[in-house]
């Protein structure tokens, strides 16, 4: 009887260890291209601010809120630029600006950082590759929320992030001689859906 009790106690202990609380793991999210449109603001001779967006993007997000860790990768198809004016779009994709024949993609990669106590990140520390050049760029996160997707019954996370960079640092200084300011304000509006395991 004593041996039986010891064996059952050992089984109970092992069972408790194996069935203990699950260790939090990073969740992988796929960027939803129909709800993700990186946009930007650029100066026009000091007279006005031109705004545009990119209509095609893809990428992934990993997030471990318990550990305060995560990563982001956004790939933008540069030929999908849209100012709302065909002539401007044509100029932007040409060799003097984006040169999409040589550089069909812009890529931002980074790590989520500055997590608050509730597991929400405040910034992304990373790098932007544009026009064939890679430079450090930190995005500040203005809004971030995760919730169940109404249709897919999986978690979806959304964020709005922004940064300012000097386009001349990426070899795009067109218009500087005519008084164009080189600073560009980048905004990444993103939604990403958890990948089924």
Q: What share of the chain is helix, strand, coil (3-state, %, to 5)?
A: 20, 50, 35
- For 79-93, the DSSP string reads GGEE-S-HHHHHHHH
Q: Which two tokens stand for residue 67?
A: 């550990």
Whole-number average pLDDT of the chain: 89
Buried-exposed string 52-70: b where 16+ CB fall within 10 A, e elsewhere: bbbebbebebbbbbeebbb
Integer CA distances (angstroms), 178 to 43, 69, 90, 171, 173, in order: 11, 44, 20, 17, 11
Q: Is pLDDT above 50 for 8?
A: no
pLDDT tens for each residue of 99-131: 999 999 999 999 999 999 999 999 999 999 999
Q: For residues 135 and 171, is the Cβ–Cβ distance under 8 A?
A: no
Q: Map tokens 């893809």 to a residue.
A: 58
Residue 152: predicted pLDDT: 85
Q: How far apart are CA 183 and CA 195, in angstroms?
A: 36
Residue-range domains of the chain with CATH: 24-194 (2.40.128.110)
pLDDT tens for each residue of 20-78: 334 468 999 999 999 999 999 999 998 999 999 999 999 999 999 999 999 999 999 99
Residue 24: predicted pLDDT: 62
């Amino acid at each position: 009887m004593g041996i039986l009790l010891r064996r059952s106690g050992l089984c109970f202990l092992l069972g408790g260890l194996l069935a203990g609380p699950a260790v939090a793991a990073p969740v992988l999210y796929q960027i939803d291209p129909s709800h993700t449109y990186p946009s930007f603001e650029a100066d026009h001779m000091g007279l006005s601010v031109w705004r545009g967006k990119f209509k095609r993007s893809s990428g992934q997000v990993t997030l471990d809120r318990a550990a305060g860790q995560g990563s982001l990768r956004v790939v933008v198809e540069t030929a999908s630029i849209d100012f709302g004016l065909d002539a401007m779009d044509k100029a932007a994709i040409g060799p003097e600006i984006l040169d999409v024949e040589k550089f069909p993609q812009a890529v931002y990669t980074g790590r989520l950082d500055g997590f608050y106590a509730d597991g929400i990140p405040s910034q992304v520390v990373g790098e932007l590759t544009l026009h064939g050049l890679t430079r450090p760029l930190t995005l500040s996160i203005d809004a971030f929320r995760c919730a169940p997707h109404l249709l897919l019954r999986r978690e979806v996370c959304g964020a709005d992030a922004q940064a300012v960079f000097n386009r001349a640092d990426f070899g795009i200084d067109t218009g500087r001689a005519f008084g164009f300011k080189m600073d560009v304000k980048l905004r990444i509006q993103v939604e990403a859906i958890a990948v089924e395991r």
